[in-house]
Amino acid sequence: MKQFLLIFLLMITGINVSAQRDTEHWIAPFYESTSYSGRSLYLSTDSVTPFNVTIYSNNIALGTVTISKGNPQIYVVSQANIAASSTSEAFAVINKGLYLLGAKPFYCTLRLASSTTHAEIITSKGKAGIGKEFFVAATPSPFGTSGNNFTAGVLATEDNTTVTATWSAITTISFIGATPATNTHTFVLNKGQSFIFAGLGTTASNMDKFIGAKIVSDKPITLTNGNMNGNFGTGSSSGSDAILDQSVPVERLGNTFAMVRTRSTAADLEGGIVIATENNTQVFLNGSTTPAATLNQGQWYRISGSNYVVQGGTHANMFISTSKNVYLYQLVAVNNSNATCGFNYIPPLNCFLPRKIDEIGKINEMPAGTGGASTVPSGTIVKLNILTEAGATVTVNGVTPTAAQGPYPVTGNTNWVTYTLEPVTGNLTILSNKAVTAGINGGFSTAGYGGYFAGFSSIPLIAKQTGDCIPGLVLEVDDSYDTYQWFRNDIPITGANSNSYTPTQSGNYTVRITVGSCPPAITPVYKVFTCLQQTTAAKTVCEGYLNIVPAFTSSTQTFVPGTVQIVTPPANGTAIVNPTTGVIGYVPNFGFAGTDTIVYKFCGNAPEFVDCEQITLTLTISESPTVTDATLRTCFLESNIATGEFNLTTANVTTQTGVTKKYYPSLTDANNQTNEILNPANYIAPNGVAYVRVSNANGCYRVAKITLIVFAPVQSAVLVDKEICIESTTTLDAGPGFNSYAWSTGATTQSISNVTVGTYWVDLKTGECITRQTVKVYPTKQPVVSNIEITNNDITVFVVGGTAPYKYSIDNVKWQDSNVFTDLPRGDTTVYVKDSFDCTPIEVTITVPNIVNVITPNGDGVNDVLDYSALANKPNLVLGIFDRYGVKIFEGNKDTGYKWDGTINKTKKVSTGNYWFSISWNETKNQTPIKFSGWILVKNRE
């Protein structure tokens, strides 16, 4: 029997406590040495919106119920799913245990009854009841009987969970189903599997030997422990009852507690069991500074019911504190009967209890009817105990308790008070404006039971709502707090302010919560990992070999070569992992074409939160296209004769059909598919190469080279520019060897005649290419008489331009090679000049002046002056007189009339002697420079 008076109190130091209202509940099986007829789940919630709860056993859904506030439901559980009774089911891996999953938080108790003789309530702690380290609880018995036992059932929540139990090596324990050689045992469970340690109470001392056993696991488990049956009373060996409750992991424990006495007054039927988890743990009662006991890890101490302090009338409570965290189970009974024994796990006092418990369903019903039907057995009385902070306003189903029902103080802790309401029935909702918890203790005939509904954690633990890893993992803490702030790696997550969070990145997650006047609390770290990402990929094997380089699809980590492993090898080829590089080399079987599949896995290089990925790679083994190189030729472009326009699509590089061709300027581009030639039919390029990538439907390809040849212009070697006399014509001949000729004159012959000065072209066709060649017929450059020098009766003609040698004439009939003519008569003479082209000669008319060699400037009117005024009409006429030293002594011009009278400046006569003269001018018609020079004798008569 379990009579529970729940007294759930606040833990001042803020240590983790189990929670009972949750979306998930796990209940481990137990060993029945005494058979029970009724086993039922009682489910209730505060949600006004109905939702489904599904019950599983061994990962198989047994059924579903729909619950809502005011509508609690019962689900009958078969013994096959929760209880063992065969020796073969003890000390062995079995498939028993329960898992419940709801869309919203709900309360869950497993109630047991054997008609009206035995009863018990196992209160599920939700996800707060699962963990990795536990210490076993049970009760001692002073009397031996085969109907009693100790039982400790473990249930795994994840696959491949390794569990190790260790118990005292000092004394031998008699187990059902095995006789282990050592004081430790390790086993492996998958999700939904369980293992029960149990021992009969035939010998009374065997009942308490497993108390304090340590159970650890590498993944979360849950533990149901106690006796079934048991009798911890010392007054009588008559009677027994189930003494069971769900445990909590050590991280949920604390060191400050309070209990309210249940429905007995006998000291041996009340009190509690303390189990130490650390050495040198001191136990203190009701505020005493003297320890009642000092315990080492795994040791236990029984607190006598005589330590309850009566606070008024029959209301009694007790305050318990310890120097280190412990388990505390309250011993409960009804009407001082040994047949009504039970116990309940008592969570530590904490500052984060809820402000309401809403709602406890069907508190006075048990599965005690025919076939385990839920009934209210005759004579049932249920006692409700409430613990809340001092000064709180409390209501039960909307009604304030009477003064006789409380509040009552707690000796040793003035911050808390207790209430007792008896009897209570139906569904209960307890509200307080401060932290509150409640428990019940009931009984009928020779059966007693109890259950508590603490509901929440002090410093809450993060738990999985759904999933195990990212993606699909949803984290949550209890939803009873005022504020929430989620953190990843100690950095607050923006907007993550509810009781649940869906992580998208691996890391260390915590939550800071606040409630009422309590200081903020931060949960322990919850490590979130990414799931093994399972992806698919496809590749084509074209040349009989493929290097598969592992690469993450989305993770930023770099794969570690040593982690690469082939999960499923290919069926139609071989695959080998290079241990140094991690690259997988795949070779298809000889002659195989088709699809093959390989599954491989690898992990990243993060120091802790390692990403892993498993890729299912489908390989298509295909032959590459057959290609041959090709050559294209084209004519040059007039705009740039070094280039031509090619139609690459006409290159015959393959005869296979169903292929795709793409063109590229280089082999690298073709392999990398970069810089594609987008207009291959009009590709302009010089001599060189282009490349075509020929691909088939499977993506296999080969690259062919296209050699590009530009035909250069072919010109006539004999057709050259000509010079002719302006008045003449010539013949232009392009020479033989061309397919056709097309002249700018319209002629289509090899040559054209009677060509005058001008510019001409001819289109010369060689094969399919046409070269336009331009030819010019220039007029010859006419010679020019640059100047003529006259010396006495001789002239010298100077010619520039034209093409030497020159011919000279003074009658246009007789021609000479010399440019000097002698003994010319005085007066006008015409000079003719032509060059080697023998064109119409040019002519220059000159005047040969009279020669005056002596003047006698004596004033007699005869030969007094040197007179060249007859030449005054000649342009640029200049007369200069020079002495024998070359010093100019006179210059004739218009002012002097081109006359010299033998004086210097008409003032001083020069001395008798020889002087030189020079006369220059331009002939009027063609401006030919003329120079006439000679000597003159001046005779002065003094």
In 479-530 the beta strands, taken as DSSP E runs, fall at: 483-488, 491-492, 500-501, 507-514, 521-522, 526-528
Average the pLDDT over 676-700 and give the result: 94
What residues contact 800, with CB distance under 8 A and at least 6 apart? 783, 784, 786
* C-beta separation of 893 from 878 below 8 A: yes
609: exposed, middle or buried (Cβ count in 10 Å: 0-12, 13-18, 19+): middle
Looking at residue 635, its amino acid is C
| DSSP-assigned letter for residue 80 | H
Count helices and strands (H / E) in the chain.
2, 75
Average pLDDT over residues 889-896: 84
Angstrom distance (rounded) from CA 311 to CA 408: 6
* Strand ranges (E), 861-912: 866-867, 878-882, 888-892, 899-900, 903-904, 908-909
Q: What is the pLDDT of residues 340-377, one digit of tens each?
A: 899 989 888 877 777 788 778 888 899 988 888 999 88
pLDDT at residue 459 in the model = 58
Amino acid identity, residue 172? Answer: T
Interval 623-637: pLDDT, tens: 889 999 999 999 999
pLDDT for res 918: 85
Q: What is the longest distance spanned by two Cα atoms in the chain?
A: 196
**pLDDT of 124 higher than 60:** yes
**Confidence band of 889 (pLDDT split at 50, 70, 90):** confident
What pLDDT sits at residue 836? 87
Contact of 664 with 653, CB cutoff 8 Å: no
Q: What confidence score (pLDDT) does residue 2 get?
A: 36
Answer yes or no: is pLDDT of 323 > 90.
Answer: yes
Segment 493-500 shows an average pLDDT of 96
Band of the pLDDT at 15, cuts 50, 70, 90? Answer: very low
Token duo for residue 392: 């709180």
Q: Does 312 or 904 have the greater pLDDT score? A: 312
Q: Is the pLDDT of residue 208 over 80?
A: yes
**pLDDT band at residue 942, thresholds of 50, 70 and 90?**
low
Whether the link from the prior residue into 613 is cis, omega within 30° of 0, is no
Q: What is the mean pLDDT of residues 146-170?
A: 95
CA end-to-end span of the chain = 182
DSSP 205: G
Q: Give per-residue burial for 167-180: e unless 16+ CB within 10 Å, then b.
A: bbeeeebebbbeee
- Of 285-289, 706-710, 725-729, 752-756, the one with minimum mean pLDDT is 725-729
- 72 alpha carbon, distance to own chain's centre: 48
Which range (90-94, 708-712, 718-722, 845-849) has the least confidence?
Answer: 845-849
Across residues 637-664, what is the average pLDDT?
94
Q: Poorest-confidence range of 378-387, 481-490, 633-642, 880-889?
A: 880-889
Tell me the mean pLDDT in the region 528-532.
92
Q: 7 pLDDT exceeds 50?
A: no
Mean pLDDT of 503-515: 93
Average confidence (pLDDT) over 166-188: 95
Check whether 16 has a pLDDT greater than 50. no
Q: Give the strand pairing for 612-621 and 533-541.
A: parallel
pLDDT attached to residue 378: 84
Residue 404 one-letter amino acid: A
What backbone phi and psi angles, to 5 degrees, belong to 223?
-135, 125
- In this predicted model, which residue has the larger pLDDT, 450 or 514? 514
3-state helix, strand, coil in the chain (%, to 5): 5, 50, 45
**Edge-to-edge strands, sheet with 428-432:** 356-360, 428-432, 394-396
pLDDT of residue 268: 93
pLDDT above 70 for 433: yes
- Residue 717: how many other CB atoms lie within 10 Å: 9
pLDDT for position 774? 95
CA–CA distance, 620 with 588 (Å, rounded to integer): 10
Surface-to-core class of residue 767, CB atoms within 10 Å of its CB (0-12 exposed, 13-18 middle, 19+ buried): exposed
pLDDT mean over 694-700: 88
| 3: pLDDT strictly greater than 60 | no
Note the pLDDT of residue 560. 96
When pLDDT is cut at 50, 70 and 90, the band that residue 852 belongs to is confident
* Joined tokens for residue 697: 């439907």
Whether pLDDT at 883 is above 60: yes
DSSP designation for 461: P
Q: Looking at residue 941, what is its pLDDT? A: 67
Separation between Cα atoms, residue 277 and residue 155, nearest integer Å: 21
Say what the pLDDT of residue 250 is.
94
Q: Is 340 exposed, middle or buried (0-12, 13-18, 19+ CB in 10 A)?
A: buried
Residue type, 390: A
Distance CA 711, CA 103 (A): 82
Q: Which residues pair with 585 in a beta bridge?
A: 547, 576
Asked if residues 764 and 773 have their Cβ atoms less than 8 Å apart, the reply is yes
Per-residue pLDDT of 134-144, as tens digits, reads: 999 999 999 98
Q: What is the mean pLDDT of the chain?
A: 89
Identify the structural domains of the chain with CATH numbers, from first to last.
22-452 (no CATH), 463-528 (2.60.40.10), 533-621 (2.60.40), 630-711 (2.60.40), 722-779 (no CATH), 784-847 (2.60.40), 849-938 (2.60.40)
Is residue 831 scored above 60 in pLDDT? Answer: yes
Helix (H) or strand (E) holding 82: helix 79-82
Once rounded to an integer, what is the mean pLDDT over residues 870-890?
84
Could you count the other beta carbons within 10 Å of the beta carbon of residue 165? Answer: 22
Predicted pLDDT of residue 180 = 95
Q: What is the arithmetic mean of pLDDT over 152-159?
A: 97
- Of 42-46, 116-120, 221-225, 247-251, highest mean pLDDT: 221-225
Per-residue pLDDT at 663: 97
pLDDT at 651: 95
pLDDT score recorded for residue 455: 44
Q: Which pLDDT score, from 0 to 100, does residue 454 have?
A: 58
Distance from C-alpha of 720 to C-alpha of 726, rounded to nearest angstrom: 18
Other beta carbons within 10 angstroms of residue 520's beta carbon come to 12
Who has greater pLDDT, 246 or 591? 246
Round the CA-based radius of gyration of the chain to a whole number and report it. Answer: 62
Give the DSSP letter string of 838-859: --SPEEEEEEEPPP--EE--SS
Q: What is d(CA 397, CA 384) in angstroms, rounded to the nearest whole number?
A: 12
Is residue 758 very low, low, confident or very high in pLDDT (cuts 50, 70, 90)? very high
Each residue's pLDDT tens digit, 394-408: 999 999 999 999 999
CB 14 within 8 A of CB 459: yes
Per-residue pLDDT at 5 exceeds 50: no
Instruction: Check whether 537 has a pLDDT greater than 50.
Output: yes
> Residue 606 in 3-state DSSP?
coil
* Residues 103/465, Cβ–Cβ less than 8 Å: no
Measured between alpha carbons, how far is 318 from 233 in angstroms, rounded to an integer?
A: 19
Residue 52 has pLDDT above 80, yes or no: yes
Instruction: Report whether pLDDT(550) > 50.
Output: yes
Looking at per-residue confidence, does 35 or 930 come out higher?
A: 35
Q: Please state, in angstroms and rounded to a whole number, the distance separating the CA atoms of residues 109 and 440.
A: 12
Q: Single out the residue of 307, 325, 322, 352 nearest to residue 252, CA to CA.
A: 325
| The pLDDT of residue 815 is above 50 | yes
